[in-house]
């Protein structure tokens, strides 16, 4: 619980809030907008879902790991427009009787107050659902569509073996046993995630997943996420050397994230058995909005602020962020260089 709590995006109205620093994720959502539309038109089978016989149709959609707006609102709106088009194309469908219910899910610590207050004018009924998507969140067969954007890499916890061995995935990122433990945790978490969704999605229901992944054959350190871990690790070592941070405190810091390889991701979906893989596309990380050292530093803080504060306390977390920012500024060409290795996966799963 403690570690899954930790990786909640920063809410509120601060400069480094996720709402204000999520253009990387927005560029990704933009890139898959048309892919989601196509998938709904081709794969969302109204007859199989029972919508052809019902007088009123309520389509239920969940955005899992939604954080706060505006990206989640954009994705829900896109899905709704595609479903409306699908209904419009189908014969004998009464579009005026069509209603949508959108469920916004994230951890209990997510800023739902901000999420609700920033809901745009909309034609759907909105609800917030607190809890980890590694477990059940919804009743059986109660969803038609689920969406998960850049959240697959969050683990439910730091792997037990890593904690027991007093290792850290930022200080010991190339330690094979650490890497293996994270990979095992990822597989186990994905199994829980897929089994929960298999219960919640109706047969014929679709799930869209947009996720970062490490290309096969490239070391994690040569990707943005891997470099991030390494630089955080190096900053921690510096702070220990400076006598600001205790060694034990540094050694016990882990980021509960596993950026899986393409092969790893494919494997978890293929072995689950509750879903058919309707589509799996790879594409380079879309970066319509040019990355600067400042925007990258803010994005990192929007993601990691809670995690760092929980472990190090406010003052040390502040020092760590400052040190990290200096490091990013000095080595920014290196960050831009690994960007080309960042791969995105877009996956469409259908509940069998």
Positions in the binding site for its own copies (CB under 8 A): 56, 58, 97, 99-101, 103, 108-109, 111-113, 116-117, 119, 125-131, 136-142
Nearest to its own copies of 139, 290 (CB atom): 139
Provide the minimum distance between the beta carbon of 112 and its own copies in the complex, in angstroms, as a whole number: 5
Tokens of 283: 């594409």
Biggest distance spanned by C-alpha atoms of the chain: 72
Q: State in angstroms the smallest separation of the CB of 83 from its own copies.
A: 14
CA–CA gap between residue 203 and residue 180 (Å, rounded):
34
Nearest to 130 by CA among 111, 146, 144, 153: 111
Residue 8 or 344: the one with the smaller Cβ distance to its own copies is 8
Q: By C-beta, is 103 or 182 nearer to its own copies?
A: 103
CA-based nearest residue to 20, from 306, 325, 299: 299
Residue the block writes with tokens 């994270």: 182
CB of 100 to its own copies, least distance (A): 8
Q: Which residue in 240, 237, 244 sits closest to 315, CA to CA?
A: 244
Task: Say how far apart CA 154 and CA 256 lie, in whole Å.
Answer: 6
Q: Which is nearer to its own copies, 141 or 271 (CB)?
A: 141
* Contacts with 117 (C-beta within 8 Å, 6 or more apart), sequence order: none
Task: State the minimum distance, in angstroms, from the CB of residue 121 to its own copies.
Answer: 13
Nearest-CA neighbor of 222 among 101, 347, 336? 336
Q: How far is the CB of 97 from its own copies (least distance, A)?
A: 8
Closest to its own copies by CB, 63 vs 111, is: 111
Beta-carbon contacts of residue 16 (< 8 Å; ≥ 6 apart): 10, 298, 301, 302, 305
Minimum distance from CB of 124 to its own copies (Å)?
Answer: 9
Q: Which is nearer to its own copies, 51 or 100 (CB)?
A: 100
Nearest-angstrom CA–CA distance, 352 and 201? 10
**What separation in angstroms does the CA of 216 have from each of 222, 269, 317?**
12, 17, 34
Nearest approach, Cβ of residue 341 and its own copies (Å) = 38
Closest approach of Cβ 30 to its own copies, in Å?
27
Residue 109 or 318 with smaller CB distance to its own copies: 109
Whose Cβ is closer to its own copies: residue 37's or residue 136's? 136
Q: Give min distance, CB of 158 to its own copies, in A.
A: 22
* Nearest alpha carbon to residue 340 among 215, 217, 216: 215
Q: Which long-range contacts (CB under 8 A, 24 or more apart) does 39-43 make?
A: 39/206, 39/208, 39/278, 39/279, 39/348, 40/79, 40/82, 40/83, 40/85, 40/86, 40/145, 40/206, 41/82, 41/85, 41/86, 41/89, 43/206, 43/278, 43/348, 43/350
Token readout for 234 is 């190096």
């Amino acid at each position: 619980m403690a570690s899954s709590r930790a990786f909640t995006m920063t809410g509120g109205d601060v400069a480094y809030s996720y709402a204000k620093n999520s253009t990387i994720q927005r560029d990704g959502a933009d890139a898959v907008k048309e892919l989601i539309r196509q998938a709904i038109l081709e794969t969302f089978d109204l007859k199989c879902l029972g919508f052809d016989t019902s007088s009123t149709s309520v389509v239920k959609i969940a955005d899992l790991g939604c954080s706060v707006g505006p990206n989640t609102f954009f994705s829900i709106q896109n899905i709704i427009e595609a479903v409306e088009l699908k209904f419009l194309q189908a014969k004998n469908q009464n579009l005026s009787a069509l209603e949508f219910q959108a469920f916004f899910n994230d951890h209990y610590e997510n800023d739902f107050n901000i999420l609700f207050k920033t809901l745009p004018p909309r034609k759907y009924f909105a609800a917030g659902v607190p809890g980890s998507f590694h477990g059940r969140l919804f009743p059986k067969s109660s969803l038609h569509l689920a969406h998960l954007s850049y959240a697959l890499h969050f683990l439910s916890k730091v792997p037990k073996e890593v904690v027991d061995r007093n290792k850290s995935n930022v200080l010991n990122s190339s330690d094979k046993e650490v890497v293996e433990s994270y990979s095992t945790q990822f597989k186990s978490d994905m199994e829980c995630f897929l089994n929960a969704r298999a219960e919640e999605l109706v047969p014929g229901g679709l799930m869209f997943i947009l996720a970062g992944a490490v290309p096969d054959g490239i070391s994690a350190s040569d990707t943005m996420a891997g470099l991030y871990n390494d630089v955080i690790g190096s900053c921690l070592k510096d702070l220990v050397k400076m006598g600001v941070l205790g060694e034990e405190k540094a050694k016990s810091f882990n980021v509960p994230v596993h950026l899986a390889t393409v092969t790893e991701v494919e494997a978890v979906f293929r072995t689950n058995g509750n879903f058919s893989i309707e589509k799996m596309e790879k594409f380079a990380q879309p970066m319509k909005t040019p990355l600067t050292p400042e925007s990258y530093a803010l994005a990192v803080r929007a993601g990691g602020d809670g995690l760092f504060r929980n472990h190090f306390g406010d003052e040390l977390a502040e020092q760590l962020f400052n040190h990290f920012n200096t490091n990013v500024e000095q080595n920014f060409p290196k960050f831009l260089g690994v960007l080309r290795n960042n791969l995105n996966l877009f996956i469409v799963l259908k509940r069998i």
